[in-house]
Structures are given as structure tokens and as C-alpha cells.
Amino acid sequence: MSLKIAVLIKQVPDTRNVGKDAMKEDGTINRAALPAIFNPEDLNALEMALHIKDIIPDSQVIVLTMGPARATEILKEALYRGADRGILISDKYFAGSDTLATSYALSLAVKKLGKIDLVFAGRQAIDGDTAQVGPQIAEKLNMPQITYAEKVVEISIQHIVIQRRIERGTETVKVSLPCLITVHSSAPLCRFKNAKRVLKFKKITTAEEHTSNNNSSIEVWNAAFLEANMDYLGLSGSPTKVKKIENVVFSKKENVSIAPTQPEVDLLFKELIDSHIL
Amino acid sequence: MDIKNNVFVYCEITEEGLVADIGLELLSKGRKLANELCVQLEAIVLGNNLKNIDKQLFPYGVDVINIAEDERLFPYMTLPHFEVITHLLKKKQPEILLLGASSVGRDLAPRIASHLRCGLTADCTALEIGTHTENKTGKVYQNLLYQIRPAFGGNIIATIINPETRPQMATVREGVMKREIYQADFKGIVEEIAVDQCLSDKDVLVKMVKREIEKHHINIKNASIIVAGGYGMGSKENFHQLFDFADLVGGEVGATRAAVDAGFTEPGRQIGQTGITVRPKLYFAFGISGAIQHLSGMEESSKIISVNIDPNAPINSIADYTIVGNVNDVLPLMMNALQN
């Protein structure tokens, strides 16, 4: 017996390390200055899937990403780390998708995989921090969802027990398969690339063919293949519209500089106490 | 009385059986939005043994409390709450629905939005009513909810609108909106939701096995003095000196996302766009460079004192006092100053 596991991943600009050149003069983002990376919590999600494959070895781990051709980089990286199959969901019709349109396209892709037991995703992507796409896909697949997962407590062919990390502690929940799980950064880090797997998948290319279990290429699925309702894709399928974008400007304050010496620090604290701030 | 197209707020229930702060903050904002739109404010409260919830809620100007009491509704589980709320929303057709950007709200809101096929904006830092003219068609939309949120790691601020879909949904983090009593003797009505008509066995597919919830809730939001540390503290050990200092000044310890990610302290202390927004009268920033995502969560502090080795740290531009130096050298000087 085995499980069929989908892992949804995303390539994101590294917003955690925004340097001074990341913003252009006009306040727009200089994407070229931001490296594109494997969304951090998606790596935690991949690890959780691979961990289950360790326990139930015949299981299959399929990674899917929606994005431009360049996003095959993270599919390959997932193959290096242990995934069995990579699928790129890519089409000009997906451009401008908000979380609802994105969840529609991704849910169609998961449905195309046939009977699926588990769907994993990172809790959120660092470019938007919305945490919305996971639960939206769960709703579209009519699956229960477990968000903020940090540990697999128990796994079998029929059910999974998950510990989730919330603000004031943890909850442990049990659910029958299939279900969708979003994974928190407190979950175990992803295993490293495997040298043999790197050699095996390094030269892999993308292909428009839609054969399953194809180890020699990364499949590319477009809107037509997904039999998508075009009204639900891209800008037209996105109920949220961006009205305005502004650069963040903080009003500068008049600033008093204090030397790091005892007399000056004493003076500062005297002032704070005298003015009842402290 | 028109019951349709009102402003709705989903109110989370705490372990103690009360409406959580975030719900009261959203009701305060929701009351203002409802007044501007000339509609009513409705609260949604789901739980078990919800005694005296009406007394807690009415002073915030709630016209209608939609309440559901059932043992399947506490502790929070996605599917039962989702089913009860979508039933209610389909009946009441709200104009706006606000939820907290907590582990509950962020779990629930997207599932509701997907089901109703409506727009949802996460982690809004401001909500306003405004108009919009569609460029292509020239169509004018009145009284839209402007959902204002940081994007791209906080480097830009985007105004999002949902012109066509209802409800207009948004989540807001704790501390962003101010909690304000509307009218101490305000009285609305309570409407009970018939839970059994909404829930079936398929909605309890997920079983709670164990819950370990800490009683103590770090309350940095209401602290008048905050001693915050960043990645520049260097280590967990160094970071822990801030607790001694906080004890001396009578403050709470806060942290940046980088400090939390590095494991210096727990996530409950994180200040910023993805943490809590604070407005203390005094804010100490130790080893905090001042990423935008942090600054926007504390810039409204009355006085800011920054201690940083880098004279050009962005935080210095919003600080009232800056001390350029190593935090581990300056902290003992401050302790001495206080003890004298």
C-alpha cells in the first residue's frame, strides 16, 4: 500500500533580504535585485511529504508549481531533494491571478493527478504572506484542511495525526485521508540535495507531453490541458483588484544623538524620568 | 429594519470564554464603517457556553449579535465554523466581513472566500470607504472598502478593492485597530443560529486529540514601555539580558521577525506587520536595524530610543534618541543609570 502525495510549491523573490537597491526611485520593485528562491515554508512542506514517504516507502511525492518557465528551478531542486515527479503549471492566462484564481488553477491541477491522498503546501509565501491559497484549494477540492502543521504524529493509509502550532500553544488533530495540510516554519527543515539525484535530474528538461510518471522530463500543464473555465483565471478570475501602490515613507523625526558613555546615558535617563516617560 | 448588506465581524472566543481583543478591535472599526455606509453592525460569535457575551459586545455598538452555541463549536475547528458561517452569510448577504488575522481567522477566512467566490485581503493595516472608477468601462463604484495592506515584505503599501463580489472580506492583525467603546449603554438584539440545520457528520471529520494552550498570554500590545531586541542582539543569551532590563523599567520584551526566526525568543513577542502592532509611550530598540515590516508595527510609539552599532540604521530616522554603540556595552550603562 502506498500514498499519493502532492506538494504545492512557489518560487518567490527573497523579500527577507531586501537591500537598498531593491526599490527603484519611483517606488516600484526592482525584481532583478531580488534573488528568486524556493519559498521557505514550502521546503518544510516538502520535507513533511518526504518524511511520510520514508515511513510508507512506496508512496509517490509529486511537486507542482504555478509560474513562469524559470520556476522549473525549484521543481528540479525538489527532485534533487527527493520528490518523484515535477509539474509546471504555466500559461499566459494565469498572469495577474489573485489567491482565488491561483487556488482555482492549482485545484484543477491536483484533480488531474487522479485519486490523491494528501496535499501539502507551505503555510504562506513570503512575497504575499497571505496564507490563503492552501485553505482555498482545500475548499475547492472539498477536503478538510489542517493549517499551521509542525509535526506528523502518526500516519497510516487511512488517516493522519498532525500537531499544529498556534499562537498560544499546540493542537493535535486526527483526520481521515484525503486532506490538505499547510506547514509552518517550526516544522523540520528540508533534507539536503542528494548527489545521486542531482546527477540524475540535472539535465532534465521541460516537455509539453502529459504522460504520468515521466522521470525524464518536467511536465508543463497549461490552461487548456487543465480544461479551465477561462473566466476563473488570471485577472478576470480575480475578485481583488489593486487600486493603488505606494512606497512606504516614514516621517523623519528630529533626532538626539547620545554618546555611549555613562554620563550621557545617565543624563538621558534623568530626562526620561523628569518628563515622566519612565 | 434592513437586515441586508450590513458590516459583519467574526469574533473569536478565548479559552476563558470571552470575545478576544481582536474581535473588539474589529467591532470598533466595523462600527465606524457601518456608520459611514449607514448600515448596521453585526457580530458573529460561535462557541459553547457563551454566557454574558452580549454584555461584552453591545458597548461596541453592535446592532445584531448572531450567536451559535454548540459543543462542536469550541474549541475552534475549521469545518463546523465554516459551515455555520457560510449558512449565515448566504442568508444575510453582508456588504463587508472582517476577521482577525490570527491562526483562526487566517484558517477560516480563505475557505469562506473560496466558497462564496469573493475577494479577500489578508493582514490589512487600514480600512477606509471610498469610490473607484474602472478605467476601461468608466463604471463608477461608490462606497467600496479600501483594503490597505503592506506587500512585498512590507516594502510597498497596496490599496486593494473588490468591486464586484460581496462580502468584501479582510483580515486584520491584533493591535492594528484601536479598541474603542462606542456607547456604554448601547443595546442591540441577539439572534440565535440554528446549528443543527447547518452541521452534519461530514463537518466533524477532524477530531481534536490534544490541546496544549498556555494560560499566560504575553501582553506586549498593552505595555506602556517596550524593550525590543533585533538580530543585532547576537545571541539568545544576549537577548535574555533584555528581560532583566525590562523588569527594571517595568516594561515588556518585544522582538523583530529576524530575532524570532533566529530563535532568540518566542513568536508571541514579534512586533511588526507579521506580528503585533504596538503604540507604547516608550520604545527601546536594541540591535534593530529597522526593516520596514518592523517599523510599521511600532512607528506610532511616543518616544523611541535606538541603540545600534550602525549610525545609518534605518530605525535611527524615526528614533527620538540614538545611541551608536554595541548593545552589549550600552545595556550595562543603562542598567547603571537606572540603579543610581
Judged by a CB distance cut-off of 8 A, whether residue B261 touches chain A is yes
d(CA B164, CA A237): 11
pLDDT, residue A182, reads 98
| Mean pLDDT over each residue of chain B, to the nearest integer | 94
| Mean pLDDT over each residue of chain A, to the nearest integer | 91
**Chain A: nearest CA to B164, how far in angstroms?**
7
Instruction: Find the distance separating the first CA and the last CA of chain A, reported in whole Å.
Output: 66
Quick one: which of B116, B124, B104, B103 has its CA closest to B30? B124
Residue B194 corresponds to which cell in the numbers above? Answer: 440554528
pLDDT, residue A278, reads 85
**Chain A: nearest CA to B179, how far in angstroms?**
21
Cβ of A170 and B212 within 8 Å?
A: yes
Helical pair A133-140 and B105-116, crossing angle rounded to 10 deg: 50
Residue B42 corresponds to which cell in the numbers above? Answer: 453585526
**Chain A: nearest CA to B221, how far in angstroms?**
14
Judged by a CB distance cut-off of 8 A, whether residue B154 touches chain A is yes
**Residue A109: in which H helix or E strand, if any?**
helix A99-112
The predicted model gives B180-206 an average pLDDT of 93
Judged by a CB distance cut-off of 8 A, whether residue A138 touches chain B is yes
Judged by a CB distance cut-off of 8 A, whether residue B219 touches chain A is no
Interface test with A, best of B333, B334, B335, B340 (most A CBs within 10 A): B333
pLDDT, residue A25, reads 62
Q: For the segment A110-136, what is each residue's pLDDT rounded down to a tens digit?
A: 999 999 999 999 999 988 889 999 999
User: What ipTM was assigned to the predicted interfaces of this complex?
Assistant: 0.91
Instruction: Find the distance separating the first CA and the last CA of chain B, reported in whole Å.
Output: 65
Window 150-179 of A: residues touching B by CB (8 A cutoff) are 153, 161, 166-176, 179
Judged by a CB distance cut-off of 8 A, whether residue B204 touches chain A is no
> Could you give the residue ranges of the DSSP H alpha helices within chain B?
21-37, 53-57, 78-92, 105-116, 195-198, 236-249, 257-261, 292-295, 327-339
Task: Count Cβ atoms below 10 Å from residue B327 Cβ, excluding itself.
Answer: 25
The predicted model gives A45-59 an average pLDDT of 97
Q: For the segment B27-49, what is each residue's pLDDT rounded down to a tens digit?
A: 999 999 999 999 999 999 999 99
**Chain A: nearest CA to B266, how far in angstroms?**
10
In degrees and rounded to multiples of 5, residue B255 shows phi and psi of: -150, 160
Kindly indicate the confidence band of residue A161, based on its pLDDT and cuts at 50, 70 and 90: very high
In DSSP terms, B8 is beta-bridged to: B42, B97
Compare CB distances from A147 to B107, B146, B282 and report the shortest one's residue. B107
Helix and strand totals (H; E) in chain A: 6, 14
Cβ of B155 and A133 within 8 Å?
A: no
Bridging pattern class, strands B252-255 and B282-286: unpaired
Q: Which domains does chain B have, with CATH numbers?
A: 3-204 (3.40.50.620), 225-339 (3.40.50.1220)
In degrees and rounded to multiples of 5, residue B78 shows phi and psi of: -55, -60
- Strands (E) across chain B are located at 7-11, 41-47, 64-69, 96-100, 120-124, 126-133, 140-151, 156-161, 168-172, 189-192, 207-213, 225-229, 252-255, 282-286, 303-308, 321-324
**Chain A: nearest CA to B32, how far in angstroms?**
22
Compare CB distances from B155 to A18, A252, A269 and report the shortest one's residue. A18
Quick one: what percent of chain B has pLDDT higher than 70? Answer: 99
Cβ of A172 and B205 within 8 Å?
A: no
- Is the model's pLDDT at B122 over the cut of 80? yes
Judged by a CB distance cut-off of 8 A, whether residue A2 touches chain B is no
Q: For the segment A64-121, what is each residue's pLDDT rounded down to a tens digit?
A: 999 999 999 999 999 999 999 999 999 999 999 999 999 999 999 999 999 999 999 9
Quick one: closest CA in A to B144, which residue? A243
∠ Cα B48 B83 B30 (to 5°): 75
**Whole-structure pTM value:** 0.90
Report CA Rg, chain A.
23
Kindly indicate the confidence band of residue B105, based on its pLDDT and cuts at 50, 70 and 90: very high
Please report the number of interchain residue pairs, chain A to chain B, with beta-carbon separation below 8 angstroms.
241
d(CA B325, CA B322): 9
- Is the model's pLDDT at A27 over the cut of 70? no
In degrees and rounded to multiples of 5, residue B226 shows phi and psi of: -120, 130
- Is the model's pLDDT at A274 over the cut of 60? yes
The predicted model gives B317-340 an average pLDDT of 93
Q: Confirm if B103 and B14 have CB atoms less than 8 A apart.
A: no
CA distances from A251 to A1, A49, A73, A198, B296 (A): 62, 46, 41, 50, 11
